Amino acid sequence: MSVKFTSKGLADGTDDTKELEFNVAGVTTGTTRTITIPDGDTKLYTGDGTSGQILTSNGAGTAPTFQAAAAAGANTSLSNLSATGEQRVCQAWVNFNGTGTVSISDSYNVSSIGDSAVGRFLVNFSNNMSNALYSVTAANWQGTTSSGYYIAAAGAIDTGSCRCACFWTTGSGADVDKNSVQVFGD
Amino acid sequence: MKIIYNNNGTLAQLIPAPNFLATLTGTDEEKLIHIANKDLPTGTPYEITDEDLSDRTFRDAWEYVAGSNEKTSADLSAEDLAKYNMTENK
């Protein structure tokens, strides 16, 4: 492979009709712009794409191309997920203290929790689930003063909320300080 | 502040998620009204209070008694339904 200089820039060493032109018309007068080549083989992408597209790798030895971004709402930082792959990520979660002044420590997609009795709570979603066939798991623990074993229970109620509870193994409700609930589904 | 409401004759409380509150605009009371309308079944009597409910010794015996500041949860507007991705009110 060889190149030769032409009045425009570079041309293929054996076929003058294959040319590479450097266009510096947009550079401000008296200014030098620099193209820095990395210490490795590289390829340039083609075209400008369209608004909203993202530059995507096509693997080693192939130039990257612009492609449509994942559907709105998808987390494009999770590169293995397609738009429908959101089923695989947690749709809502909450960590709350069910003792004393009940309080939410942290949460995602949860607007509030309802406290209806000892050890019984309702988790309300900020944005509803698509249907009530989602999966809910819950876990409970009482800090450093745990004096027994607890059973966590949870289940879907409707698209807007799920229920979770904490019981002693005797069956009576228990307020504990570490409650966590996770929701997966559509 | 929190929301207390009548849950089949007993008192229940609704604790707002700080992360969700941060997404709302308005005064603290306006934000809680917003949450009451969103998370309580429409027509549920409730009150916004900063009463201390930390003593849960007799939690299951708590009773809701209507106070002078009682409100009733309303339907969310069409705009709010769209905002919260809800197809209908509770």
> Per the domain annotation, does A65 fall within a domain?
no
Could you give the CA distance from residue B72 to residue B33 in angstroms, rounded to a whole number?
Answer: 9
Could you give the CA distance from residue A128 to residue A161 in angstroms, rounded to a whole number?
Answer: 8
pLDDT (average), residues B54-62: 90
> Per the domain annotation, does A71 fall within a domain?
no
- Residue in B with minimal Cα distance to A103: B15
pLDDT (average), residues B51-69: 90
> Per the domain annotation, does A72 fall within a domain?
no
Nearest to A111 among B35, B52, B59 (CB): B35
- Residue in A with minimal Cα distance to B61: A117
**Which of B15, B12, B81 lies closest to B44, judged by CA?**
B12
Q: Is the pTM of this model over 0.80?
A: no
Same domain, A31 and A92: no
Within an 8 Å CB–CB cutoff, is residue B81 touching chain A? no
**Can you give the residue range of the structural domain that contains A126?**
88-184
Evaluate whether A119 touches A98 at the Cβ level (below 8 Å).
yes
> Per the domain annotation, does A103 fall within a domain?
yes
Q: Where are the alpha helices (DSSP H) in B1-90?
A: 18-21, 28-39, 78-83
Evaluate whether B7 touches B46 at the Cβ level (below 8 Å).
no
Nearest to A128 among B12, B52, B86 (CB): B86
Percentage with pLDDT > 90 across chain A: 39
Q: How many CB pairs under 8 A join A and B?
A: 88
Could you give the CA distance from residue B3 to residue A179 in angstroms, rounded to a whole number?
Answer: 20
Alpha-carbon distance values, A83 to A65, A86, A87, A160 (Å): 19, 6, 9, 22
Residue type, B59: R
Within an 8 Å CB–CB cutoff, is residue B7 touching chain A? yes
pLDDT in tens, A134-186: 999 999 888 766 566 678 888 888 999 999 999 888 888 989 888 999 999 98
pLDDT over threshold 60, residue A9: yes
Q: Which residues of A touch B54 (CB under 8 A)?
A: 100-101
pLDDT over threshold 70, residue A73: no
Are the beta carbons of A100 and B56 separated by less than 8 Å? yes
pLDDT over threshold 60, residue A51: yes
Could you give the CA distance from residue A54 to residue A64 in angstroms, rounded to a whole number?
Answer: 10
> Per the domain annotation, does A49 fall within a domain?
no
Bigger pLDDT: A104 or A146? A104
Q: How many domains does chain A have?
A: 2
- Judged by average pLDDT, the poorest of A34-38, B30-34, B71-75 is A34-38
> Per the domain annotation, does A80 fall within a domain?
no
Within an 8 Å CB–CB cutoff, is residue B31 touching chain A? no
- Of the pLDDT bands very low, low, confident and very high (cuts 50, 70, 90), residue A4 is confident
For residue A141 the two structure tokens come to: 């623990």
- Judged by average pLDDT, the poorest of A46-50, A78-82, A97-101 is A78-82
Q: Which of B5, B13, B39, B62 to mutate to test the interface with A (most CBs of A within 10 A)?
A: B39
Are the beta carbons of B20 and A107 separated by less than 8 Å? yes
Question: Which range is most confident: A3-12, A25-34, A76-85?
Answer: A25-34
pLDDT (average), residues A91-102: 94
